[in-house]
Structure 1
Amino acid sequence: MNSSTLFLMLFTLSLILISHAPMSTLGITLYESLCDQAGQDKARCLEVLQAEPQIVGAKDNVELCKLILEFGLKKGLEAQRFLKDAMMTTPSPAIVQCATSLYDGTIGSFKSSLSELAEDGQTANYDAKVAGDGPTTCDIALSNAKIVNPTISALNKDILLISKLAFLATDKLP
């Protein structure tokens, strides 16, 4: 075997090994790889997920999915509590709708996705995506009612982002 053939074989072998190396050995963490997939939301994704040390330290895709879904559930409950408080001070039908049926659906979708994680990746993926319907519809309802509330808009935007990230993460499940 001549030296050029040996070099070519070693080069090919090293490319194969590198392509199968875990991302963390290449300097890219799982959450950073996920944020890369978020497109124009990459910067906000990094900002939101870096605030959660458990997500940053996720060791595999299943753990990452679980942590993001739990984070989405936690944030959804916090947003719903805020909306229910806002409902008391601003008794608008749009805010009532956001605080009750719309965020009930969002929270239910995050819970459902979490429960399906181990058994049915496709259903978990669908539920993660559907979790974003509540904040989207809430924004529309507020807009139609001519209610401008930057805090509610920011909450909706964050929950929508977390839903998107959960969808992207669960899309890698078997």
Structure 2
Amino acid sequence: MAASTYLSLLFTISIFFISHATLPTSNPKLYQNVCKQPGKTDFEQRCLTLIESYPPLTQINDRLTFCRSFVKMVAIEKTTKAQEYVKQMMNKYPSSQPIKECATEKYDTLVNELKAVLNEDPDLIDMDAKYAADALDECETVLAREKIVNVSSIYTLNNNMMLLADIVRITASNL
């Protein structure tokens, strides 16, 4: 065979392989899709930063597994620590009924609803997340009555806890 025949055959085979090769696509990972969901201004960056600080979460592709793993690895620990902080505030300012109500009733609901996600029927997980978020909203409403103690640190804490509840709610909304 002539050299041109070999080159022609090599070219044809190359075209065949190139046309059947899969092009790499930039499919976002599950957690990236979760973080892009709501129309909140800083939500996406806060969500990505939080989840990427737990590398095992970034590898999960199943929504239910991600949701429960996020709750187990992140949400329960952070909400429990947040409740401890609010309880310290309650002990520091025992006459403050709003702080007491947030520290006990509202944060108890928050922590318990997130813990329920671990064993909940997948169809009901979004309700647990909604109840957790509602508890934070109710805490905010109660804190608005506080006129003596500066509760700005609790507002900030609630904002951070709402991020956790939102991540669970968004993930669970498509189970």
- Is TM > 0.5 for Structure 1 vs Structure 2? yes
Q: Deviations over 1:15-44 (max 9, x none)?
A: xx99xxxxx963411111100113222122
Q: Which amino acid aligns with 2:53?
A: A
Matched, 1:110 2:114: yes
Match of 1:77 among 65, 80, 84: 80
Q: Which amino acid aligns with 2:146?
A: A
Q: Deviations over 1:114-158 (max 9, x none)?
A: 211xxx222111111211122211111111213433321121111
Q: Which amino acid aligns with 1:28?
A: P
Match of 1:65 among 64, 67, 79: 67
1:1-174 correspondence runs (5 A):
26-40=26-40, 41-70=43-72, 71-91=74-94, 92-116=96-120, 120-146=121-147, 147-173=149-175
**How far has the Cα of 1:113 moved from its partner?**
1.9
- Alpha-carbon RMSD across the aligned residues, in angstroms, is 2.2
Q: Which runs of 5+ in 1 are unaligned?
A: 1-13, 19-23
**How far has the Cα of 1:160 moved from its partner?**
1.2
Contact 1:72 1:110 in 2 (8 A): yes
- TM-score normalized with structure 2 length: 0.77
Q: Which amino acid aligns with 2:98?
A: A
Q: Which runs of 5+ in 2 are unaligned?
A: 1-19
Cα gap change, 1:151 to 1:55, in 2 (>3 Å): farther
**How far has the Cα of 1:112 moved from its partner?**
1.4
Contact 1:50 1:56 in 2 (8 A): yes
Q: Which amino acid aligns with 1:85?
A: Q
- Secondary structure of 2:119's aligned partner: helix
State the 4+ residue runs in structure 1 displaced beyond 4 angstroms: none
Contact 2:133 2:165 in 1 (8 A): yes
- Secondary structure of 1:114's aligned partner: coil
| Cα distance between partner residues in 2 of 1:88 and 1:104 | 16
More helix by share: 1
- TM-score normalized with structure 1 length: 0.77
Q: State which structure, 1 or 2, has the greater radius of gyration over its C-alpha atoms.
A: 2
Contact 2:64 2:122 in 1 (8 A): no
Q: Which residue of 2 aligns with 1:9?
A: none
Cα gap change, 1:57 to 1:140, in 2 (>3 Å): same
